[in-house]
Amino acid sequence: MCGIVGYVGTNKAVPYLIEGLSKLEYRGYDSAGIAVNINKDIQVYKAKGRLKNLEAIIDMDMDSVIGIGHTRWATHGAPSDVNAHPHMNQTRSIAVIHNGIIENYMEIKEWLIHDKQVEFVSETDSEVIAHLIDYYYTGDLLDAVYKAVDRMQGAYAIGVIAKQEPNRLVAVRKDSPLIVGLGEDENFIASDIPALLKYTRNMLLIENDEFVDLTKDKVTIYNSLKQEVTRDVYEVTWDIDSAEKEGFEHFTLKEIFEQPKGVKETLMRRLNADDEIVLEGVNLTSEILKDINKVYIVACGTAYHAGLVGRRAIENFAKIPVECDVASEFRYRDPFVDERTLFIAVSQSGETLDTLQSLREAKRKGARVLSIVNVVGSSVARESDDLLYTWAGPEIGVASTKAYTTQLIAFYMLALHLGRLNGRLDMVRYHETITELKNMPAKLEVVLGQSEKIQKLAASQFNNEKVFFMGRGVDCDLAYEGSLKLKEISYINSFAIAAGELKHGTIALIEDDTFIVALATQNALYDKMLSNIKEVKARGAHVFAIAKAGNDQILKTADEVFFIPDTMDDLAPILAVVPTQLLAYYVSALRGNDVDKPRNLAKSVTVE
Ligand code: AGP
Is the CB–ligand 1 distance for residue 488 below 6 Å?
A: yes
Of the pLDDT bands very low, low, confident and very high (cuts 50, 70, 90), residue 269 is confident
pLDDT higher than threshold 60 for residue 244: no
| Domain boundary, last residue among 447, 464, 486 | 447
Structural domain count, the chain: 3
Query: What pLDDT does 192 receive?
Result: 85
State in Å: Cα 487 to ligand 1 middle.
13
Q: For residue 299, which atom of ligand 1 is closest to its CA?
A: 16
Is the CB–ligand 1 distance for residue 345 below 6 Å?
A: no
| Domain boundary, last residue among 447, 472, 506 | 447
Is the CB–ligand 1 distance for residue 398 below 6 Å?
A: yes
State in Å: Cα 534 to ligand 1 middle.
34
| Domain boundary, last residue among 422, 447, 472 | 447
Of the pLDDT bands very low, low, confident and very high (cuts 50, 70, 90), residue 418 is very high
Query: What pLDDT does 73 receive?
Result: 76
CATH number at residue 119: 3.60.20.10
Residue whose CB lies within 8 A of the most ligand 1 atoms, among 302, 404, 594, for a mutation test:
302
Nearest CA to ligand 1 atom 6: 301
Query: What pLDDT does 280 receive?
Result: 82
Q: Per residue in 274-319, pLDDT tens?
A: 889 989 889 998 899 989 999 999 999 999 999 999 999 999 999 9
Is the CB–ligand 1 distance for residue 400 below 6 Å?
A: yes
Q: For the sheet with 341-347, list strands across it.
A: 322-326, 294-299, 341-347, 368-373, 386-389
Same domain, 258 and 369: yes
Query: What pLDDT does 79 receive?
Result: 78
Q: Per residue in 65-111, pLDDT tens?
A: 999 999 997 767 777 889 999 999 999 999 999 998 888 899 999 99
Query: What pLDDT does 242 receive?
Result: 61
Instruction: Compute the mean pLDDT over every residue in the chain, rounded to the nearest whole number.
Output: 94
Question: Is the whole-model pTM more than 0.85?
Answer: no
Same domain, 409 and 491: no
Respond yes or no: is residue 2 known to be catalytic. Answer: yes
Is the CB–ligand 1 distance for residue 300 below 6 Å?
A: yes
State in Å: Cα 302 to ligand 1 middle.
5
Q: Per residue in 335-351, pLDDT tens?
A: 999 999 999 999 999 99
Same domain, 491 and 424: no
Is the CB–ligand 1 distance for residue 64 below 6 Å?
A: no
Same domain, 367 and 491: no
Q: Is residue 68 part of a domain?
A: yes
Same domain, 96 and 217: yes
Query: What pLDDT does 268 receive?
Result: 84
Tell me the C-alpha distance between 600 and 493, whole Å: 15
State in Å: Cα 395 to ligand 1 middle.
11
Instruction: Name the catalytic one among 23, 109, 163, 603.
Output: 603
Of the pLDDT bands very low, low, confident and very high (cuts 50, 70, 90), residue 245 is low
The residues that bridge with 34 in the sheet, in sequence order, are: 45, 69
pLDDT higher than threshold 70 for residue 116: yes
User: In terms of DSSP H, where are the helices of 319-450?
Assistant: 327-330, 353-364, 379-382, 402-421, 427-448
Query: What pLDDT does 272 receive?
Result: 84
Same domain, 29 and 135: yes
Q: Is residue 24 part of a domain?
A: yes
Choose the weakest-confidence range: 238-247, 391-400, 512-521.
238-247
pLDDT higher than threshold 80 for residue 247: no
Is the CB–ligand 1 distance for residue 474 below 6 Å?
A: no
pLDDT higher than threshold 90 for residue 604: no
Which residue type is seen at 144?
Answer: A
CATH number at residue 260: 3.40.50.10490
Same domain, 490 and 512: yes
Is the CB–ligand 1 distance for residue 256 below 6 Å?
A: no
Same domain, 371 and 386: yes
Same domain, 389 and 517: no
The parent domain of residue 182 ranges over 3-237
Of the pLDDT bands very low, low, confident and very high (cuts 50, 70, 90), residue 243 is low
Same domain, 474 and 532: yes
Burial 556-572 (b: 16+ CB within 10 A, else e): ebbebbbbbbebbbbbb
Q: Residue 593 in contact with residue 491, Cβ under 8 Å? A: yes
Q: Which positions ≥6 away from 9 have C-beta within 8 Å? A: 16, 65, 66, 183, 185, 186, 187, 216
State in Å: Cα 603 to ligand 1 middle.
7
Q: Is residue 607 part of a domain?
A: no
Residue 499 or residue 103, greater confidence: 499
Q: Per residue in 532-591, pLDDT tens?
A: 999 999 999 999 999 999 999 999 999 999 999 999 999 999 999 999 999 999 999 999
Q: Is residue 608 part of a domain?
A: no
Which helix (H) or strand (E) covers residue 490, if one does? helix 474-490
Q: Is residue 333 part of a domain?
A: yes
Q: For residue 605, which atom of ligand 1 is closest to its CA?
A: 10
Q: Is residue 603 part of a domain?
A: no
Tell me the C-alpha distance between 269 and 446, whole Å: 23
Query: What pLDDT does 75 receive?
Result: 62
Q: Is residue 595 part of a domain?
A: no
The radius of gyration of the chain from alpha carbons, rounded to an integer in Å, stands at: 25
Q: Is residue 596 part of a domain?
A: no
Strands (E), 19-104: 31-38, 41-48, 66-72, 87-88, 94-102
Q: For the sheet with 41-48, list strands across it.
A: 41-48, 31-38, 66-72, 3-8, 187-190, 179-182, 202-205, 234-235
Burial class (CB in 10 A: 0-12, 13-18, 19+), 77: middle
Same domain, 340 and 423: yes
Tell me the C-alpha distance between 272 and 445, whole Å: 24
Same domain, 480 and 442: no
Query: What pLDDT does 396 receive?
Result: 87
State in Å: Cα 304 to ligand 1 middle.
8
